[in-house]
């Protein structure tokens, strides 16, 4: 698909060959939706997409929900003025009403309507990978997965995947049709998928394209206590546990270790954080979110940079030394309905303690 100098990676059972990192576009949707990261310029978004493609990134990931459709529209606009033809991934099941409030549905008719909307906004006839965004409502998983399999047979989707699914939920879907990929959160400070989910995916040949390797920007090396305190009111990171004490101080100490390792290779802490994620053998690729061409260029070394085993283990030892390990390993994305998980860093998704009634999507 491109003339890169880094190896492309096969995604699960598909014929898709991915660059090690893809461009996530949730931030490009702008600030007009519940889980935005604040205001965003369309011109900067399009420049970021162009820069990513020029540097060899060959897959873009979106969702109908991002910017309430705006992210997909921006992808279409960017590709109209680009010579590159990247893979286009998007997601379904998370929807919105006219007033901007959100809901979830895996009903067959709803998914068909969502797909048609995404095809229209993206200005394409076929989507390379269509993913169930959240396994919600859980009672509709089978109906939704059956419908995606039918839509694939119609040629409107090339491959189908899931996002934020547990092992139990993936097994339910597998009884109906193969799963090409899983998209879970995964970072140095968010490691719960290591216990069961990644081993299962590797055993089953399911590709894994993780999101938030830099923990929504926290591990980039660009954030300080002051900059976090001044985040816009509509920036959903204001609701994320990792941006508050006592975790914030520990996370910023981790960033200094990443900076020390990165300095030896002339790369940023964010590149080291991405490389840590890619070190796991079950990870096919990971998504990075960038607001501008400059940010894309800063993370471009992550296409090629890899940690040594000693460097990887040094980071792991640091995390264990400050008492994160057990809560990170034994957390779960999607426990039995009604369960509570105390002190779990899951961006206040519904699988966390239910002190809030709304969940946060992938960032």
- Catalytic residue numbers, as ranges: 66
Residues 6+ apart with CB under 8 A from 185: 164, 193, 210, 211, 212, 333, 346, 347, 362
Which residue is listed with tokens 């076929």?
Answer: 126
Helix axes 141-153, 167-174, angle to 10 degrees: 50
Backbone angles phi, psi at 57, to 5 degrees: -65, 125
Give 226's Cβ-side CA count (13 Å radius): 1
Cα–Cα distance measured from residue 194 to residue 143, given in angstroms and rounded to the nearest whole number: 29
Cα–Cα distance measured from residue 354 to residue 7, given in angstroms and rounded to the nearest whole number: 43
Number of other residues whose CB lies within 10 A of the CB of residue 107: 14
Helix axes 70-80, 108-122, angle to 10 degrees: 30
Give 163's Cβ-side CA count (13 Å radius): 26
> 127-132 and 87-92: which strand pairing?
parallel
Cα–Cα distance measured from residue 209 to residue 345, given in angstroms and rounded to the nearest whole number: 20
- The beta strands (E) that lie in 155-290 are given as 157-163, 181-183, 207-210, 285-289
> 285-289 and 59-61: which strand pairing?
unpaired
Q: Which residues of 79-100 are buried (b: 16+ CB within 10 A; e: fewer)?
A: beeeebebbbbbbbbbbeeeee
User: Is residue 203 left, alpha or beta, with left meaning phi > 0 and alpha meaning psi from -120 to 50?
Assistant: alpha
Separation in Å, CA 225 to CA 200, 242, 272, 281, 318: 38, 12, 21, 34, 21
């Amino acid at each position: 698909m491109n003339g890169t100098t880094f190896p492309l990676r096969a995604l699960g059972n598909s014929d898709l060959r991915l660059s090690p990192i893809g461009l996530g576009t949730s931030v490009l949707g702008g600030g007009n939706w519940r889980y935005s990261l604040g205001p965003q310029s369309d011109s900067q978004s399009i420049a970021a997409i162009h820069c990513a493609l020029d540097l060899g990134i060959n897959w873009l990931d979106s969702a109908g929900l991002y910017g309430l459709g705006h992210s997909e529209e921006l992808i279409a606009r960017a590709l109209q003025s680009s010579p590159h033809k990247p893979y286009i991934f998007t997601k379904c099941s998370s929807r919105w009403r006219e007033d901007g409030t959100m809901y979830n549905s895996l009903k067959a008719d709803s998914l068909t309507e969502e797909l048609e909307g995404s095809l229209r906004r993206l200005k394409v006839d076929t989507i390379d990978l269509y993913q169930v965004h959240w396994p919600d409502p859980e009672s509709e998983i089978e109906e939704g997965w059956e419908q995606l399999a039918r839509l694939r047979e119609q040629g409107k989707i090339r491959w189908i995947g899931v996002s934020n699914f547990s092992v139990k939920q993936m097994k339910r879907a597998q009884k109906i049709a193969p799963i090409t990929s899983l998209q879970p959160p995964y970072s140095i400070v968010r490691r719960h998928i290591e216990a069961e989910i990644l081993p299962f995916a590797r055993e089953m040949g399911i590709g894994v394209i993780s999101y938030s390797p830099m923990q929504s920007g926290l591990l980039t090396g660009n954030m300080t206590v002051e900059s976090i305190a001044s985040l816009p009111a509509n920036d959903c990171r204001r609701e994320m546990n990792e941006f508050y004490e006592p975790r914030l101080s520990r996370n910023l100490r981790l960033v200094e270790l990443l900076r020390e390792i990165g300095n030896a290779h002339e790369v940023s802490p964010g590149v080291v954080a991405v490389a840590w994620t890619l070190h796991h053998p079950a990870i096919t690729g990971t998504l990075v979110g960038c607001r501008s061409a400059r940010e894309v260029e800063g993370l471009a070394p992550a296409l090629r940079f890899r940690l040594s085993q000693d460097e990887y283990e040094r980071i792991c030892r640091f995390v264990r030394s400050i008492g994160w390990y057990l809560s990170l390993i034994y957390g779960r994305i999607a426990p039995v309905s009604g369960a509570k998980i105390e002190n779990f860093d899951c961006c206040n998704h519904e699988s966390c303690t239910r002190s809030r009634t709304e969940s946060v999507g992938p960032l």
